Amino acid sequence: MFVGASALSASAASGWSETEVDVALVLAVDVSRSMDDDEQRLQRDGFVEAFRSAIVHDAVRKGNVGRIGVVYMEWSGPAQQTVVVPWTLVDGAATASAFADRLAMAPIGRIYSTSISGAIEMGLRLHRESGLDPLRRVIDISGDGPNNTGRTITAARDEAVAQGVTINGLPFMVKRPTGFGEIESLDLYYEDCVTGGPGAFIVPVREARHFADAIRTKLVREIAAAPEPEATIQAAEQRERSDCLIGEKMRGRRYEP
């Protein structure tokens, strides 16, 4: 884990220990085959730009501790998760920009099936191994389709929530569903089946030009843990309006003889 000197000096001055952070944030990013090359690049550039933005730097500095822990992980199938940038302490512009630089230089993965449940399980493992003492723990899932393999999504979600972890969502809805693994109302699926925990929310992305803004909006809310008035954010209500097994059913129909 990267620990900047400024983070250590800030700990001594504030009375917080070196491992305490406002939030430990797992950024879990979909790299399944439903995401084309342009979408993959848009997604990666959006996170890079967000960590270089002053609004995110300010949100970090204004926290109770004044720093966060963040890890960037790409996911696809049940056993296909790759940590791209490991746990990093971010306490302002310099450390946030260093995180962005490492992310910008890393290659983008490209794998196959979509296991959101596998991403959540990996997120829990990363939290256990972080060595951090966070005030809040969050797994941030971004993706463009429903869970279609691995453990059922609601079982993984409920396990995470039972452990005190909040799951937020960034459903990627730029393209209209046209093929296997794509559904209408992905935002409702994320609300009903993926997200959970205290203050859980989603930020749907419906236009490519809004992606970077959506990531900044989401990160600021996750860092600050404060209500956000912008209409782009929807609270996760868990009203079960969606079929949480739709992805598995679609996959099964595809492979029927």
H/E element holding 129?
A: helix 116-129
pLDDT in tens, 26-73: 999 988 877 777 778 888 999 999 999 999 999 999 999 999 999 999
Residue 236 has pLDDT above 60, yes or no: no
Span of 13-22, 175-184, 231-240 with lowest mean pLDDT: 231-240
Convert the pLDDT of each residue in 68-83 to its tens digit: 999 999 998 888 899 9
DSSP strand pairing (133-143 vs 165-171)? parallel
The rounded distance, in Å, linking the Cα atoms of 6 and 25 is: 20
Tell me what pLDDT residue 177 has.
Answer: 59
Half-sphere exposure of 243 (CA within 13 A, CB side): 9
This prediction's pTM: 0.86
Which residue range(s) make up the domain with 116? 19-254
- Counted domains in the chain: 1
**How many Cβ atoms from other residues are within 10 Å of residue 181's Cβ?**
18
The CATH code of the domain that includes 72 is 3.40.50.410
64 within a domain of the structure (yes/no): yes
b/e per residue 112-151 (b: at least 16 CB within 10 A)? ebbbbbbbbbbbbebbeebebebebbbbbbbbbbbbbbbb
Q: Is the pLDDT of residue 108 over 90?
A: no
38 assigned to some structural domain? yes
In a domain, 12, yes or no: no
Task: Decide which of 8 and 162 is more confident.
Answer: 162
The pLDDT of residue 128 is above 60: yes
Answer yes or no: is 4 within a domain: no
Is residue 7 in some structural domain? no
Within a domain: residue 205? yes
